[in-house]
A and B are shown apart, each in its own frame.
Chain A
Amino acid sequence: MTSLGPLVLLVEDEASMRRFLRATLVPHGFRVLEAETAAAAELAAASHNPELILLDLGLPDRDGIDLTRRLRGFTKTPILVISARGREQDKVEAPDAGADDYVTKPFGVGELLARMHVALRHAARAAGEPEAAVLEFGELRIDLARREVAIGGRGVRLTPIEWKLLALLARHAGRVVTHRQILREVWGPTYAQQTHTVRVHMAGLRKKIEADPARPRWLVTEPSVGYRLRDRD
């Protein structure tokens, strides 16, 4: 308890991964609490009130998605899921179960830290900071209050659906938003199955915002999962 950096609950059953993550996180000012099983994770989350949970889905005693759902039952602490390659379904299910984002093994340290910072920032904002009325991502400027979008100072006209789509991604900037989340937020719960609708509108949005829609700068696709508004700054 020498440092007062954010407390991270690391749920991971592989000792080598734990060692690597501890060695990475501690120098960056995080305090690390470790749990090897889902049961221990639940207990630690309830008793220590961590600021971020780093959760590897492949746990020995319980399905990680299920654990996510249970954790969401009593805490709003952001959950960053670590999923294995080839388990693509997890990437869709984890955000729907309440996880904030995911990284895929193997991942680089930079990627992991960026995701953690995004999650912590969002948590802080949700906890009390008033939502910023204007969001800026490099040349892209989004005025949520006035419903205006501009690139490099030049205004862009969007359809109502495109606006809702962009605003949703902007509010979750840096985090993945699944197709299902988009459908629910933008179209309402009755459209829950038609992902191609999202894709078509997304293509339209890209054409208006991106210089080259085939090499997007901001609106990045997470194949078969959803989209992410890239927040580099």
Chain B
Amino acid sequence: MLDEERERPDPDVLLRRIQAEDERQTRARLKVWLGFAPGVGKTFAMLANARELQAAGGDVVVGWADTHGRYDTAALLLGLEFLPRRSIPYRDRTLEEFDLDAALARRPGVLILDELAHSNAPGSRHAKRWQDVRELLGAGIEVHTTLNVQHIESLNDVVAQITGVVVRETVPDAIVDRADEVVLVDLAPEELLLRLREGKVYLGEQKERAARGFFRRGNLLALRELALRRAAERVDVDVQAWRREHEVATTWAIGEKILVCVGPAPASARLLRAGRRMAAGLRAPWVVAWVERPGTTSLSSEDRERLEAHLRLAETLGASVVRLVGERPSEAILRWAREHNATRIVLGKPTHSRWRDLLRGSLLDEIVRGSGEIDVHAIAGDEAPEAPPRRPASGASLAWREIAAAAVLVGLATGASALAERLLALPDVAMMYLLAVMLVAIRCGRAASIVAAALSVAAYDFFFVEPVYTFAVSDSRHLLTFGMLFAVGVVMSTLTLRIRRQERGAVEREQRTATLLALSRELGRALDEREAARAIARTLAEVFRCGAAVLRPGPGNALAVAAGAGELPLDAPELAVARWSFAHGEPAGAGTDTLPGSRIRCLPLRSGPRVLGVAALAAGPEKNWSHEDRDLLDAFTRQGALALERALLVEERERAALRARTEELRSTLLSTVSHDLRTPLAAITGAASALREQAAEMDAFERGELLDTVVEEAARLERLLANLLEMTRLESAGIEPKREWVPLEEIIGAVLVRLEAQLEGRSVRTELPEDLPLVAADPLLLEHLVLNLIENAVKYTPPGSPIEIRAEAREGRLHLEVADRGPGLPAGDEERVFEKFYRGRHPHQPGAGLGLAIARAIAQLHGGSLVGENRPGGGALLRLQLPLDANPPQ
């Protein structure tokens, strides 16, 4: 009854739910025991749960558990399976670590891995344990872990404010949000303090004092609240999900989207965390933006690093990052917000004086005014989402030269005005100075422009304004002129500066576009996989000025270098990085979260879900990657992967076409040849069985006939097979003639001896000049060629008719003619006789119609040609040409 009143479910929602359900079923579970401080009993609770699971028949393995010497916790470990720990030599000590590879190899049903926020020892695959966890989950292994609330990234600064202790080991919110279940382990602070006093909480000796400060009742209460709130938030999300699944009308604000504006100032980090909390509270997606003013010369290296750190932090906090470009940051921000339907803009409260606002305009003010329906949140932090423009790094000498030039120009204006004083009115003189100031402003920097303006005012006043040759001014109206002169100088120089900046920005962007364009052009030219790989490696090496290589999976999926440019270390550890990157389809090595100590940086070349290879750059941890470089690298690898895929597809298509051709040939061959194979076989079988069964009834003549049949048909079969095999061999790609220097005479002699029986009763005339040069040919193939030519003449001419063989060397080529006096080649089909399986007018002659096709194939293999024609007076003439080497050996 109620069902009828329910709203029809939105198909999109349904789809999302199905997808989520699918994902939940296929993906591995993550369960987190969350506490507000060490000592509340997270590990204990987790292990107790593990024991229950094991008792219920679960495959539970402990990857790492810290009992901190607590007896009751250690007791829980008894009877559980342990993974052996990995020893890592570090300086003069040996560190023990969780063995990720062992866990992946063991593939337990549930893996217990204490301390999610743990930092791995240097030399481990990942810097942080939560990255290990991510890989484990990716491999389909359920993970149970523990976490204290102060380690959650977005709560990091709140915790620091409360406790005064800055926690360095943080876990991105994304991984906590990924958890399928969060178990809150709670304990009253009083009880925790009691346990602490009883020595039940292990703190580590050197940390004792800091920890004492941490474990104050006030701190604990605040932390507990944080943990409770976080868990409640989590419950809320679960409730929402449940509601969605059960079609309860939703109450959350649809379409909220938060834009957080950051800059290089240190306080931006706080802004980010605030943004994350707001996004979590609203359950809204959030985007972090920073505005670059075109042409602003690059930030100082500290600023740039800070900015990059902020953008990375934003990514770990689960935001997407955009880089906006615009002369006016407020406009760029508002434009983006409108285009992407942001509902809230978060930015820092201004920290500078009001004067600056008056001079340069206030970002906050502009955004608030232009925001319209978008809410604007000003949060204690920094203001500037833009990089503070820095002066061009022009040396002081340049500035001085410009100022000198300004002075010269003003002097010239003064001189010109003095010369033409009779002709000029005073305002005209002012115009002369204005011209000078404008010229300076256009050509030189701002300092020079201001100097020029000041000098102009002074000179104008001194030389032309009454009383002349003093700086005194009798008429106050001139003051306005002075002011105008000065103002024009400043405004002009500002405008010029802006134009120049934009120009520089445009140039930079153009360079970037040009590099990408060059890459895509080069990739477009690459027709096969090798060329594409080479183009990628070369361009990477050129653009990033370091060695680069492209690795592709070879047989057995082992990675091997497909193309390289420049120096690139590629020993076992580097190959391991590349393999990881290839297997997981994610970047690895220097500058990434995985194996950051490597000497190379690896990027997967992936197209969709398929990883085609890995691009490796010889850029160790010391190399700084700016956001732009990362973007560029990203674009490069994306394009490279596409090109690689295209090349692979082309190759695949060619292979398919080849297969189709082979298939076609095979069917022709089968239909034509099966007849030719069966006929002699039938004759042999028939004759042989007749001999076996009826020999007694036959006379000697009949027996002889049958025996002749057997021998002749067997010989015919043998020739046919030999031709077929030869044709197949010649057609298989890559056959190279084994060239030797041979006299043609010897070849013809060998053939005539071999055909002695068939040539019985024929006149064979050979005309070979004495001085015929040696020919560089494969003797076997050449013999086969000549044999086929002569055999062809024998086969298709009446017995007893003559055969003529003539050879001569002419124009660097050897000409051999085999002529007969038979019926000649079918008119109009002179070319077709060289086609495979063509048998002209003699479909009943033995043979498969391969002889001349083979002969021509051999001729072409040697760089020669074979053609046929009809002779005047009747008969066929086959003409072979072979190239002669200019220098035969003596």
Contacts and interface: CB of A to CB of B under 8 A. Distances in A.
The answer to whether A and B belong to the same complex is: yes
A221 B750 contact: yes
B745 A215 contact: no
Contact of B753 (A88, A106, A195, A215): A215
B774 A214 contact: no
Contacts of A86: 722, 725
Contacts of A106: 714-715, 718
Contacts of A203: 743, 745-746
Interface string A38-63: 00000000000000000000000000
Nearest to B782: A223
B496 interface: no
Contact of B745 (A85, A194, A195, A213): A213
B538 to A, nearest CB: 42
Nearest to B774: A196
A106 B720 CA distance: 13
The B contact surface, by secondary structure, is helix
Given A86-B725, A106-B714, A214-B752, A199 B780 contact: no
A188 B558 CA distance: 50
Contact of A223 (B718, B741, B752, B780): B780
B742 interface: yes
A86 B724 CA distance: 12
A167 interface: no
Interface string A86-122: 1010000000000000000010100000000000000
A203 B805 CA distance: 18
B280 interface: no
B324 interface: no
A214 B743 contact: no
A35 to B, nearest CB: 27
A196 B889 CA distance: 8
B544 to A, nearest CB: 51
B748 A214 contact: yes
A138 interface: no
Chain B interface residue number, banded:
20 to 34
B749 A199 contact: no
B766 A214 contact: yes
Given A196-B741, A224-B780, A214 B714 contact: no
Nearest to A217: B753
A214 B779 contact: no
Contacts of A213: 745, 749
A214 B818 CA distance: 14
Contact of B766 (A194, A200, A215): A215
B529 interface: no
Contacts of B740: 195-196, 224
A7 to B, nearest CB: 29
B818 to A, nearest CB: 13
A216 B750 CA distance: 8
A215 B779 contact: no
B774 A212 contact: no
A33 interface: no
A129 to B, nearest CB: 30
A198 B421 CA distance: 109
B764 interface: yes
Contacts of A85: 718, 722
B131 to A, nearest CB: 56
A17 to B, nearest CB: 14
A158 interface: no
Residue with the highest number of chain B CB atoms closer than 10 Å, among A85, A86, A88, A203: A203
**Max chain B Cβ within 10 angstroms of own Cβ: one of A194, A200, A221:** A221
A186 interface: no
Choose among B714, B746, B779 the residue with the greatest number of A CB atoms under 10 Å from its CB.
B746
A110 to B, nearest CB: 11
B780 A88 contact: yes
Nearest to A207: B770
Given A221-B753, A223-B750, A223-B783, A212 B742 contact: no
A221 B750 CA distance: 5
Interface string A3-33: 0000000000000000000000000000000
B725 A199 contact: no
A14 B377 CA distance: 93
A220 interface: yes
Contacts of A194: 889
B768 interface: yes
Interface in B147-179: none
B753 A220 contact: yes
B747 interface: yes
A144 interface: no
Contacts of A223: 747, 750, 779-780, 783
Given A215-B753, A216-B753, A196 B748 contact: no
A200 B749 contact: no
Interface string B771-787: 00010001110010000
Contact of A214 (B715, B722, B725, B745): B745
B688 to A, nearest CB: 12
B714 A199 contact: no
Contacts of B768: 214
Nearest to A216: B749
A140 interface: no
Nearest to B764: A215
Nearest to B718: A106
B746 A220 contact: no
Contacts of A88: 780
A202 B747 CA distance: 12
B439 to A, nearest CB: 84
Interface in A176-233: 194-196, 199-200, 202-203, 206, 212-216, 220-224
Contacts of B748: 214
Contact of A215 (B714, B742, B749, B780): B749
Contacts of A215: 749, 752-753, 764, 766
Contact of A200 (B711, B753, B774): B774
B746 A202 contact: yes
A221 B779 CA distance: 11
Contacts of B711: 108
Contact of B774 (A199, A206, A216, A220): A199
A106 B748 CA distance: 23
Interface string A130-170: 00000000000000000000000000000000000000000
Nearest to A210: B749
B887 to A, nearest CB: 13
Task: Name, among A212, A215, A223, the residue most crowded by chain B CB atoms within 10 Å (CB to CB).
Answer: A223
A108 B774 CA distance: 34
A200 B764 CA distance: 24
Residue in A86, A200, A202 with the greatest tally of chain B CB atoms within 10 Å: A200
A85 B717 CA distance: 13
B882 to A, nearest CB: 16
A216 B745 CA distance: 10
Contacts of B714: 106
Interface centre among B747, B748, B749, B766 (most CB of A within 10 A): B749
Contacts of B780: 88, 223-224
A56 B766 CA distance: 38
A15 B741 CA distance: 42
Contacts of B753: 215-216, 220-221
Given A106-B715, A199-B742, 11 more contacts: A85-B722, A106-B718, A196-B742, A196-B774, A199-B741, A200-B743, A212-B766, A214-B745, A215-B764, A220-B750, A221-B747
Question: 5 tightest CB-CB pairs across the interface, nearest first?
Answer: A196-B741, A221-B750, A214-B766, A223-B783, A224-B779
Interface of A: 85-86, 88, 106, 108, 194-196, 199-200, 202-203, 206, 212-216, 220-224
30 contacts: A85-B718, A85-B722, A86-B722, A86-B725, A106-B715, A106-B718, A108-B711, A194-B889, A195-B740, A196-B741, A196-B889, A199-B741, A199-B743, A199-B774, A203-B745, A203-B746, A206-B749, A213-B745, A215-B749, A215-B764, A215-B766, A216-B753, A220-B749, A221-B746, A223-B747, A223-B750, A223-B780, A224-B778, A224-B779, A224-B783
